[in-house]
Structure 1
């Protein structure tokens, strides 16, 4: 008669909670970053950004005398980023709800705040990466017009470089914030694109609030970052501490508030399969 060892027939069990290893945060970030490329919408959006950026540079360098500074090229390359890159962040933020994978994601990583952090960090990383590529393309375009079109070399863009980088970071965090606040890709994209336009249009007609808008509208508050400090003063823009205070206040409205709503919705919301 064959005997069976009771120890072998007993199912394996974990001896302590220390045997359960948490998902590393770096892995969560990589997974969230891959989600930006795995979907057809995300891939095509990145392709559109690349095509639009290349087309803008080609037009700027080929039309007219070609005497275009590095600063002008950089503004031209970052403009498509400001318009389209936040949509990549929105798609990343709403992927669990648009693809109906929220139950899978939060089963593998129940700590929802870590998932939100991974989404935000991966979106910021993508924004910084694309911005560095835009700087490189702007430099190549300026070298092209200097070498072949007789333009004067002009590389003085210190303030514009760090100022625009800061705006790219805020744009990406804002995209994540709007995506989490609505948990719906169409609603988040439409609101993110339309609402600032409405606010800016109202600001043009309500002149009595001209001094208030820089404290409310993020684009108006951050406009001095894209110009020379002396030129900003001549144009009547804020500078120094007042400028940073306006940027901070507008960021709280356009980034902090929707992020707080989004975090609350994700942490408190019921996760469904459909």
Structure 2
């Protein structure tokens, strides 16, 4: 005679929250999962390489150095990195995956934090790519035989290069988080600084003021690697205006926006 046994009590399985490191890796993978993302990253790297080689082969002899190639090679990076940052934070809304993302990770501030960390990681990788491109460009100039070919680069110049690229991509992240639409954010990112530059030129009495809030002027010393003295005050004010304010407002919107 068999005796019936009571079924074992079912214990609910506990799902741990995904760590910030895992979420950051997921966001980095999103940046290269799409064809547009891969092409944009490839064009950015190739643009830096082409400009660096051009600097190694052309221009004044004294400018054809590793430092000169790096400074010029930063132009395509500083131009396209913010677009990558915008696409990184607007992908949920443009590809209609926000519902899935925030269902899996209900804590939206963690997703936003992971996107910021992913953007900073991409900025660091871009810096490494820019340095490699500058080294190739300088090597080509040396091989051509009529370049200065100096490899000198101070620690301060390198630090300012990293800070400039990271600031640029964070401005893109801030605009994307604030506007949550890739097209609108990209247009706003390119249009607003241009408007500020024009106003600074047209309204002479406000020229000194716009020197603090126009990113084209306030952040320029970072890209050339010669920020010093009063430049840092202008850089801090500019970053607070173009990163801090839109990032804070964008995070507030993200936490309260209805997901459909």
What runs of 5+ residues in structure 1 fail to find an aligned partner? 233-238
Kindly report which structure 2 residues correspond to 1:5-20, keeping only aligned pairs within 5 A, or say none.
Answer: 5-8=5-8, 12-14=10-12, 19-20=14-15
- Alpha-carbon distance in 2 for matches of 1:98, 1:247: 32
- Does 2:249 match 1:270? no
TM-score (norm 2): 0.91
After superposition, the Cα gap between the structure-2 partners of 1:208 and 1:151, relative to the gap in structure 1 and judged at 3 Å, is same
After superposition, the Cα gap between the structure-2 partners of 1:185 and 1:34, relative to the gap in structure 1 and judged at 3 Å, is same
- Alpha-carbon distance in 1 for matches of 2:137, 2:78: 20
What runs of 5+ residues in structure 2 fail to find an aligned partner? none
Kindly report which structure 2 residues correspond to 1:1-274, keeping only aligned pairs within 5 A, or say none.
Answer: 5-8=5-8, 12-14=10-12, 19-63=14-58, 68-158=64-154, 159-227=156-224, 229=226, 239-240=228-229, 242-272=230-260
Aligned-pair RMSD on alpha carbons?
2.1
Cα pair 1:214 1:250 within 8 Å, conserved = no
After superposition, the Cα gap between the structure-2 partners of 1:24 and 1:34, relative to the gap in structure 1 and judged at 3 Å, is same
- Alpha-carbon distance in 1 for matches of 2:23, 2:121: 13
Query: Number of aligned pairs?
Result: 258
Cα pair 2:161 2:225 within 8 Å, conserved = no
- Alpha-carbon distance in 1 for matches of 2:130, 2:224: 18
After superposition, the Cα gap between the structure-2 partners of 1:6 and 1:146, relative to the gap in structure 1 and judged at 3 Å, is same
Q: Deviations over 1:142-171 (max 9, x none)?
A: 122123323223233323322121011111
Shift of 1:3: 6.4
After superposition, the Cα gap between the structure-2 partners of 1:215 and 1:156, relative to the gap in structure 1 and judged at 3 Å, is same
Cα pair 2:116 2:170 within 8 Å, conserved = yes
Cα pair 1:178 1:188 within 8 Å, conserved = yes
- Alpha-carbon distance in 2 for matches of 1:2, 1:76: 84
Q: Deviations over 1:23-49 (max 9, x none)?
A: 111110000000100012111111221
- Alpha-carbon distance in 2 for matches of 1:215, 1:91: 28
TM-score (norm 1): 0.87
| Of 154-163 and 135-144, the range deviating more from structure 2 | 154-163
* 4+ residue runs over 6 A deviation: none
